[in-house]
Every structure is written in structure tokens, then in C-alpha cells.
Amino acid sequence: TGTISSLQRQLEIQESQLRRIKSEKEMLQRKLREQEKELETTCAKFRSLREEQEHEVMMATMEENISLQQVVTELKSMVAEQKEQMNELQGVVSQLRAELQSCQRHSHTQQREHAVLQSQAEMLQHKVLQATVARESISSRFERYRNKIIQATFSTAGSKPPQAELTDEEVLEAMQVPASSKVCFQQPARDWWGK
């Protein structure tokens, strides 16, 4: 967005300069036409008065004509230079417009990609939540099953109840009992799996 704003400002500046140069060109062309008219008028006067005027007046008029011709030549040169600058500025303006359009397209593409990524992130968050709920459910079932195993294991005749929390290895060792005592824990396990 900052790049687009900068390009738009540059485009406005270039267009302002282009308008100013066009205005200067029109003013120079008006001056050129006025000078050409003045030159034509002076030449007409020179032709109508050359027989009546003295040699000094003719020389002065000729010098004035030469001066006016120099002014016209300079004005023509300035107009040509202004045209060249105007063409250059038009090229810059066209380039800035192209860059602005490219930046706008890039910005739209980024917005679409951001929307897609945001949607994917929301979907992943939903999946993570589902996985967390499933893990907690499985952990809860596992803990209930473990407690039933411990109850069944230590409820057999001659077993001592545990004095502290048992590790999984200790529970497995306690389950290594004679076959006759295993029948006692099978029923609670069936009850748990039935639930």
C-alpha cells in the first residue's frame, strides 16, 4: 500500500509537470506567432517605406529584423526542447502508470493469498482442538483402565495394596501372577471395555 501511494504521488507530480510544460509550450507558441506577425509587419513597413526612408533608417530596420529572426530562432529551439521534455515526461508517466497497475495487481494477489492462509490457519486450529479433545478423552480412558487394572491386580487374595503411586512397569510386574488370580481381574476389565 505504501509503494502504491508513493507511485501515485509520483504520477501526480509528473502529470503536474506535464501540464506545466504544455502551458509553457502554448505560451511560447503564442509568443512565436506574435513575433512572426511583428516580423511580417516590420517587413511590410520596410517594403512600403524603403524608398522614402534614408539609408540609416533602413539599416536600423534591417538590424531589428535580424534581431527578431534570432528571437524567432531561439523560440523555435525552445519549443522543440519543450516538446522533447514533454515526450520524456509522457514516457515517465506511462511507466509510472504501468508500475502502479503492477503494484495493485500484486497487492490483490497478496490479499487473496492472505485470505487463503488465514482460512488454512483456522482449519488447522480446529483440527488441533479436535486432536486435543481426542487426546484428553483417550488419556482419561487410559487412566480409568489403568486404575481398574491396579484394582483387579491388588484385589486378589494375598496381594498388598500399593503404598505409593505405581509406575506402568510396576503395574505390569504386579500382573505377573498365577493364572488362578488372573480370573479376578478379567471381569472388571470386561466391565470397563463394555462401557
Better-scored residue on pLDDT, 11 or 171: 11
Burial of 8: CB neighbours in 10 Å, binned 0-12, 13-18, 19+: middle
The arithmetic mean of pLDDT across residues 4-19, rounded, is 88
Per domain, the residue ranges of the chain are 8-111
Average pLDDT over residues 110-130: 93
Instruction: With cut-offs at 50, 70 and 90, classify the pLDDT of residue 195.
Output: very low
Q: For residue 12, give the nearest of 100, 104, 116 by alpha carbon.
A: 100
Angle between helices 55-154 and 168-175 (to 10 degrees): 30
Interval 95-115: pLDDT, tens: 999 999 998 998 999 999 999
Q: Is the pLDDT of residue 138 over 50?
A: yes
Check if the beta carbon of residue 148 is closer than 8 Å to that of residue 189.
yes
> What is the DSSP code string of the chain?
-HHHHHHHHHHHHHHHHHHHHHHHHHHHHHHHHHHHHHHHHHHHHHHHHTTTS-HHHHHHHHHHHHHHHHHHHHHHHHHHHHHHHHHHHHHHHHHHHHHHHHHHHHHHHHHHHHHHHHHHHHHHHHHHHHHHHHHHHHHHHHHHHHHHHHHHHHTSTTPPPPSSPPPHHHHHHHH---HHHHHHHHHHHHHHHH-
User: Of all residues in the chain, what percent carry a pLDDT higher than 90?
Assistant: 31
Please indicate whether residue 129 or residue 143 has the higher confidence score (pLDDT): 129
Is 104 exposed, middle or buried (CB count within 10 Å of its CB: 0-12, 13-18, 19+)? middle
Q: Scanning the structure block, which residue is given the C-alpha cell 488362578?
A: 180
Q: How far apart, in whole angstroms, are the C-alpha atoms of residue 14 and residue 31? A: 25
pLDDT of residue 5: 85
pLDDT at 15 over 80: yes
Three-point CA angle 60, 66, 67, nearest 5°: 90
Q: What are phi and psi of 52, to 5 degrees?
A: -95, -25
Q: What is the pLDDT of residues 151-188, one digit of tens each?
A: 777 776 556 666 667 677 776 776 665 444 544 445 55
Q: What is the mean pLDDT of residues 16-33?
A: 91
